[in-house]
Structure 1
Amino acid sequence: MTASHTANSIDTASLNEHYPHLFEPLDLGFTTLKNRLVMGSMHTGLEDRFYNYGKLAAYFAERAKGGVAMMITGGISPNREGWLLPASGTMNTRADVLNHQRVTRAVHKYDSKIIMQILHSGRYGYHPFVVSSSPIKSPISPFKPRKMSIKNIEQTVKDYARSAKLAKQAGYDGVEIMGSEGYLLNQFLSRHVNKRTDEYGGDIQGRMKLAVDVVKAVREAAGEDFIMLFRLSVIDLVKDGNVMDEVIIVAKALEEAGVTIMNTGIGWHEARVPTIVTSVPRAAFVDFTAEIKKHISIPMMAANRINMPETAEEIVASGQADLIQMARPFLADAHWVNKAKDGQADRINTCIACNQACLDHTFDNKRSTCLVNPQACYETELVYKKTKKPRKVAVIGGGVAGMSAAHVAALRGHEVTLFEAKDILGGQFNYAKVIPGKEEFFETIRYYINELEHLGVEIKLNTKVDKAMLEKAKFHHVIVATGVVPRSLAGKLEGADLPQVMSYAELLSGEKSVGATVAVIGAGGIGFDVSEYLTAKHGQPLDELDPELLKDSSYRPKAQSIEEWREEWGVTSATDYQTEGGLIKTGDITPVRQVYLIQRTKGRLGSGLNKTSGWVHRAHVKSHGVIQVSGAQYDKITNEGIWITNNQGQSQLLRVDSVVVCAGQESVVELMPNVGDAPDAQYHLIGGAKLAAELDAKRAIRDGAEVAASI
């Protein structure tokens, strides 16, 4: 099989004027991809139950309609041992074929290709039947795996082949063999788990035997006219992982065995290096993809932290990859591809890599969705139907809840006016966006501003609304999204009104500045954000923070460079990838100031942070010398610092120049009518105004969308 995929072989007559390389078709010999954009595999939770396949079909169909060339399903197991969860999605019977046909038929209506990922979880499975190359327990599963016998291995190869054959019968255009992220084939490929001494262990020739056998069996079972991707771990990021020479050997062998497209996998789920959270720089691993591409002749696909067309275009144009895989960006915006094709990148709802509604849900066994797009995976339930009776709608508050409500209401055809008391939209996101590593949050504000303008929403900044104004304008619906204000300790803690004491909002807006030593009161998500803001060496310097510049929707602060990020986390470059797993010694970090992070409750700080990203924040504050204090009682603040009673009951003075209060928020609800006092308009309370939980943007955006969809 040969494929025409040279980045420089563009037919100039058919160039896309905006992103010519992204929209060049890719000839695979027996079929053609209409562009270079692929939606990568994401486990949504819908795959695991047959009665959800109608919802799964709608989810994929919406993205096919959005213009993507090819999509890859969440992981589907080839047998019971390979389950991620008990009774999770499989492809090993005729009944499975019938369910999956609902998905493939829905996708093919829109000239997009659909690939089924075959994933054997190995020791990552959450069930008692787990198996692996060696009986070494995973740190992310409670079950110790059974070592696979030769007979078991040979049967598993047959199971892969049967699964691929059934996938073809179900109408899939191909399969992806999952060989990265620490799942079964990766467990065989790496010394990290594979301690075998038989033909499936030892050197890389033995360790790759299972992966090669699987590819050969799948190719024989499915035939030549069937796309086969292999997701190869190009850097393991775990102890005793492979080195680049071994990865290249595996890639060449897999190509020879019959792989059509080589995909990029980065790191294991148990790796202590972040790979996809928002603080990872865009395209941070593309040099590893580019290095593998030099040694194979089949198309190579780049992945990980690519979320906007400019980045994707540069990767393909420079010859570092032939295809771009994005996963979460297609949760955020199903129509990403068509918007890029039409030169409307500023209208893309950008993935901010927060993980809060996708991966955090997956690892909690919940249905995935998206913080910035609550319709994701709810396409049949959260529907934005055009209204037959347009109404005058007032949205009070220009945070993400209010912007979400205004957006959906206008999208449905209502006449919408958005009121904001300040001179900037974005609400609490304006504080989050200045945290080093959270620069992507600028993109959400940009998206909403552009969409509201496009939809003709009247935006009134610097406008303090009162009930009389609302009654006079005769709105049919009033959506109160007035959000939250930081909880003040004035009157509750002696010295809280001193000039060196400030709220997180005063700090992050640039209204106040801090000294060289700082106490942060409150160790929730905001406390950790503030601690990172105060200690990170990159990002906007505190004394240079320009509040006016932050109001410009086109402004982006300089993010941490890939080189700085790698030094901080101890990751090699592709050209120096000779250390096992790609891990090297981390660089020495000298914090820019001393910070004390204090909480009242006893126990580990940050225990309530998000599941898939919380450990990254905890690692940052530890590596940057933040002194963590738990079980403290706040006694008083003086010009010397803050007096606390520590968890041993002893009085202690923390000598600090400044105190930042991150002790929660309070809802702003004065616009809500009293019982029996409601005017003709219907009032709706959403977001932080409804519940002052800690910066819960996921709930706020969904609240806005759901209310606007219902009126």
Structure 2
Amino acid sequence: MPELATSSPSSAFPHLLSPLDLGPFTVKNRLVMGSMHVGLEDHAKDAPKLAAHLAERARGGVGLIVTGGCSPNLSGRLTPHGAQIRPGHMDAHLLVTRDVHEADGRIVLQLLHAGRYAFHPLAVSPSGGRSPITPFRSRPLTRIGVRRTIDAFARAARAGVEAGYDGVEVMGSEGYLLNQFLAPATNRRRDRYGRTAEDRRAVPLAVAGAVREAIGPRGLLTYRISLQDLVKNGQDWDEILALARELEARGVDVLSTGIGWHEARVPTIATSVPPGAFVDVTRHLREQVSVPVVASNRLHDAHIAESVLADGSADLISMARQLLADPQLPRKLEAGRENQIVSCISCNQACLDKVFVGERASCLVNPRAAHETELRLLPVPVQRRRKVAVVGGGPAGLEAAISAAERGHTVTLFEALDEVGGQFLFAARIPGKESYGEALRSWRTRLVAAGVGVHLSTRADAEMLAGFDDVIVATGVRPRVLDLPGFAPPADPAAASGPGPRVLSYAQLLSMPRERALAEVGERVAIIGAGGIGVDVAEFLTAPLPSFTEDLPAWRERWGVVDPAERRGGLAVRERTGQAPTALLERSAVPTEVHVLQRRTGKIGKDLGRTTGWVHRAELRHAGIIEHRGVAYRAIDAAGLHVTEPGTDPGAAPTETVVAADTVVVCAGQESERGLVDELALLEDGPRVHVIGGADVAAELDAERAIRQAVETAAAL
């Protein structure tokens, strides 16, 4: 197991942990918890939960907290019942600010008007119309409506500071109303609010000035400014820079950077985005303004954040999802325990994906996030401490072991393999998911810190576990065996195959080093199953070496990201040729023909994450994947994989097809490994048995559910 860090925090993170004068007050470090809606902002009854959530981050030592966005008026709400600041009804906010201040924190209220992103029929925007991400058509604001909106921002800001907030952040990024006024794409007005670039700046500047006057000199005013809209006909750099300078003149204390509109077809925060991908444009801004600048987007790693501050690219670092994952991050940095930080893997599965369907957010690697009052890990009295065995070192087993040990129980972890990690070992090998490796390193170090006894290469049996008080079975899953003629994956993936395609399970393929796997699968591969694992395998076989996540110039070229000084919106213009792209094949020795097959007739990857699925589907299209939908599998023989596919014309009879392949990779689901549960049931007066993760339910390999089960089980011991 790795040794614990002993580095001095002052030498490791001197910039990140240093205080900074922001004008109205000084923050104790350069870490900002960026705005992130968690689903507790919309109803006053949830205020105690929201207060506990934010106060825990304040106790963890973050320098400044920004709330989730609250609308200044009814039309600006994100949803029909979304958060709105209503002067005279601020008791819930008083509770939040009190708890954060009692935890020695600083907090500012973000004011966000959704504009045409509003998910309700009262939506308004500069010029009317519907955005690609909502079903409602917005109506254009009248000039009176514009003035009323500016006044609403001022009233809401005043109510915020009266409720105890240390200041206000005006949301002018991500494609919301103020950003819509700035971009020619969404502002086609012919009056004083839209004819020229100067006119388009009028409303954001008026809002900033009105908010400044409303909160007075003692309140902090930050403005979230879009540096790259990443949409056609977005802002150009001269316009962005002019806005920034005029915001300074209107009294803005801090410029917080935003990247990309929600409708942009460029990923900005997914795990496949290279860390620090947008630091360059932040540096360009900081060089031209005198107020502090906050860098954001894929800056979860503290070492990268420190380097961004050290080279002068920014003055502060915004971390939103990373502080969901680990609210104690600043304290751990101060104590020199940075390798015990719970790493955000930018999966979005439990946070953004939840919020966008109206559910409360949490965090895949920290299920207590936004559930602090309900899921509590309290220390146990000495007389109640139990001897606990955890069998299985995947994500569920690791989290169960650490959580139980941190409560005070004596915990031993048994893992059959020679390393812990389970399915995350496979995930970390997928191009674009390199961050999963950081989570594994964090778990390994935290095992040591929590005092968990670890036995690797040990297959625990009932006799070995008889002396424990509790056994947590987290033995995970095994690939499902297909009832298909000719299907016979070799026990050893290196074994010679007979006539016909080589057949591998996804576990066998992903257990091999990637370079070796690419060399051995041949030129033609068929993948049975197009769920999350099937898509991962397709990317494993087709992504370049190195992956785009580790090659920033190539990633920018792949997604058409350019300097906004070169082209409006910072987005390159691409011609549509109608041909499958071949850039990936030119950059690496990968199979030249990859088929992905599924039984369902829907699109490949349909059930992937709401905020990241489109990225994976785009990568598959870019790689020229050949899709087969609605198939029935028949057999595997010397000719290849035999399937039946729907007819090409409506009502046509299915057709028999042979997919010629050198290798068939089976990603057709999993089955729970539950043999140990049956063994333990035979013991007389044996330990209490708890079954979690894939051993409990194998469907979809749901890491979020598995880790939540692990923490809930540990909390109940």
Separation in 1, partners of 2:673, 2:66? 44
> Which of 523, 526, 534 lines up with 2:530 in the alignment?
523
Go from structure 1 to structure 2 and tell me whether the alpha carbon gap of 1:650 and 1:184 turns closer, same or farther (over 3 Å shift). Answer: same
Report what 1:572 is aligned to: 562
Residue in structure 1 matched with residue 551 of structure 2 by the alignment = 561
Inter-partner Cα distance in structure 1 for 2:264 and 2:300: 23
> 1:495: how far off?
4.0
CA-CA distance at 1:279 after TM superposition: 0.1
Q: Which residue of 376, 379, 386 corresponds with 2:379? A: 386
1:534 equivalent to 2:541? Answer yes
**What's the counterpart of residue 585 of structure 1?**
574
Contact 2:201 2:243 survives alignment (8 Å): yes
Residue 700, structure 1, aligned to residue 706, structure 2: yes
What letter is aligned with 1:21? H
Other structure's SS at 2:84 match = coil
Report how far residue 635 of structure 1 moved: 1.6
Quick check: 385-394 or 577-586, which moved more? 577-586
CA distance in 2, matches of 1:265, 1:515: 44
* 1:623 and 2:622 are equivalent in the alignment: yes
Give the alignment of 1:493-512 within 5 angstroms: 493-497=485-489, 499=497, 500-510=502-512
8 Å CA contact 2:489, 2:505 repeated in 1: no
TM superposition shift of 1:308: 1.3
Matched, 1:271 2:264: yes
CA distance in 2, matches of 1:108, 1:179: 27
The answer as to whether partners of 2:232 and 2:568 remain within 8 angstroms in 1 is no
| CA drift at 1:538 | 2.7
Q: Is the 8 A contact 1:238 1:583 kept in 2?
A: no
Amino acid of the structure 2 residue aligned with 1:665: Q
How big is the shift at 1:375?
0.6
Q: Is residue 483 from structure 1 mapped to residue 482 from structure 2 by the alignment? A: no
Q: Name the Cα RMSD after superposition.
A: 1.7
**How far apart, CA to CA, are the structure 1 residues paired with 2:698 and 2:549?**
30
Residues 410-432 of structure 1 deviation map (CA, whole Å, 9 limit, x = unaligned): 01000101011111100000000
> Residue type matched to 2:51 in 1?
A
**Cα distance in 2 for residues equivalent to 1:171 and 1:436:** 46
Q: Which residue of 2 aligns with 1:90?
A: 84
Instruction: Summarize the alignment of residues 145-156 of structure 1 with structure 2, pairs less than 5 Å apart.
Output: 145-156=138-149
Alpha-carbon distance, 1:638 to partner: 2.1
1:689 and 2:695 matched: yes
Distance 1:495 1:676 in 2: 34
* CA distance 1:85–1:200, change in 2 (3 Å): same
Once the two structures are superposed, residues 546-580 of structure 1 have per-residue CA deviations (whole angstroms, 9 ceiling, x without a partner) of xxxxxxxxxxxx94221111011111136x53344
- What TM-score, normalized to structure 2? 0.92
Render the CA deviation track for 1:235-262: whole Å, top value 9, x for unaligned: 0011111111111111111111111100
Judge conservation of contact 1:45–1:366 (CA < 8 Å) in 2.
Answer: yes
Q: What are the residue-to-residue correspondences of 1:402-417 with 2, within 5 Å?
A: 402-417=397-412
Task: Name the aligned partner's letter for residue 701 of structure 2.
Answer: L
Determine if the alignment matches structure 1 residue 650 to structure 2 residue 655.
yes
Partners of 2:543 and 2:584 within 8 A in 1: no
- Is the contact between residue 409 and residue 709 of structure 1 (CA under 8 Å) also seen in structure 2? yes
* Paired residue type of 1:582: L
Cα 1:407–1:36, aligned 2, differ >3 Å: closer, same or farther? same
1:676 CA displacement: 7.0
TM-superposition CA deviations, 1:54-101 (whole Å, max 9, x none): 010000110001110100000011010011111221212222x21101
1:20 maps onto 2:14 in alignment: yes
SS in 2 for 1:426: coil
Counterpart mapping for 1:316-331 below 5 A: 316-331=309-324
Structure 2: 5+ residue stretches without partners: 1-7, 491-496, 576-580, 648-653
Q: Which residue does 1:461 correspond to in 2?
A: 456
Superposed displacement of residue 15, structure 1: 8.9
SS, match of residue 459 in structure 1:
strand
* Residue 332, structure 1, aligned to residue 319, structure 2: no
Count of aligned pairs? 676
Partner AA of 1:83 in structure 2: R
Q: Does 1:54 align with 2:48?
A: yes
Give the distance between the partners of 1:189 and 1:568, measured in 2 at CA. 27
Q: Deviations over 1:181-235 (max 9, x none)?
A: 1111111111111111111112211111110000000011111111111101100
What residue is the counterpart of 1:103 in the other structure? 96
Return the offset for 1:588.
5.6
Q: Using a 3 Å threshold, how does the CA distance of structure 1 residues 674 and 23 change in structure 2: closer, same or farther? A: closer
SS in 1 for 2:525: strand
Does the CA-based 8 Å contact 2:192-2:199 persist in structure 1?
Answer: yes
- Give how far 1:475 is off: 0.7
- Structure 1, unpaired ranges of 5+: 1-13, 541-557
Correspondence for 2:595? 596
Distance 1:470 1:496 in 2: 34
Verify the 8 A CA contact 1:243 1:582 in the aligned structure 2. Answer: no
Which amino acid letter does the alignment assign opposite residue 290 of structure 1?
R
Distance in 2 (alpha carbons) for counterparts of 1:287 and 1:445: 29
Hey, what does 1:635 align to over in structure 2? 634
Partner of 1:122: 115
After TM superposition, list the pairs within 5 Å mapping 1:362-381 onto structure 2: 362-381=355-374
For 2:323 and 2:114, locate their aligned partners in 1 and report how far apart those are by CA, in whole Å.
Answer: 24
Name the residue aligned to 2:204.
Answer: 211
The aligned residue for residue 73 of structure 1 is 67
Deviations along 1:577-617, whole A, 9 cap, x unmatched? Answer: 33444334388624332210110111211111111100000
- CA deviation after TM superposition for structure 1 residue 340, in Å: 1.4
Q: Report the CA distance shift for 1:70/1:590 in structure 2 as closer, same or farther (over 3 A).
A: closer
1:4 aligned residue: none
Cα distance in 2 for partners of 1:344, 1:393 equals 26
Q: 1:421 aligns with which of 405, 416, 421?
A: 416
In the alignment, what sits opposite 1:241?
A: 234
For residues 106 and 561 of structure 1, the distance between their equivalents in structure 2, rounded to whole angstroms, comes to 43
- Equivalence map 1:427-466=2 (5 Å): 427-466=422-461
3-state SS of 2:396 partner:
helix
Pairwise mapping of residues 185-204 of structure 1 onto structure 2 (< 5 A)? 185-204=178-197
Alignment match, 1:40: 34
- Cα separation, 2, equivalents of 1:84 and 1:343: 41
Residue aligned with 2:129, SS = coil
Q: Does the 8 Å contact 1:493/1:634 carry over to 2?
A: no
* d(CA) in 2 for partners of 1:150, 1:129: 17
User: Is the partner of 2:339 in helix, strand or coil?
Assistant: helix
Identity of aligned residues (%): 47
Give yes or no for the alignment of 1:259 onto 2:248: no
- Which deviates more from structure 2 when the two are superposed, residues 510-519 or residues 287-296? 510-519
**Contact in 1 for aligned 2:528/2:668 (Cα 8 Å):** yes
CA distance in 1, matches of 2:327, 2:689: 31
Counterpart of 1:537 in structure 2: which amino acid? P
Q: CA deviation at 1:136?
A: 1.3
> 2:675 aligned with 1:670, yes or no?
yes
1:113-145 superposed Cα distances (whole Å, 9 cap, x missing partner): 101000001111111111001111011111100
Match of 1:11 in 2: none
Conserved 8 A contact 1:19-1:313: yes
Structure 1 residues 292 and 152: CA distance shift in structure 2, 3 A? same
1:109 is displaced (CA, Å) by 1.7
* Paired residue secondary structure (2:75): helix
Letter matched to residue 493 of structure 1 = P
Alpha-carbon distance, 1:675 to partner:
10
One-letter identity of the residue aligned with 2:704: K
Question: Residues 9 and 334 of structure 2 are in contact (CA less than 8 Å); yes or no, is this contact kept in structure 1?
Answer: no
SS at match of 1:694: helix
Map 1:291-310 to 2 at 5 A.
291-310=284-303
Any conservation in 1 of the 2:276–2:304 contact (CA below 8 Å)?
Answer: yes
The one-letter code matched in structure 1 to 2:686 is: D
Contact (CA 8 Å) 1:173, 1:227: kept in 2 or not?
yes
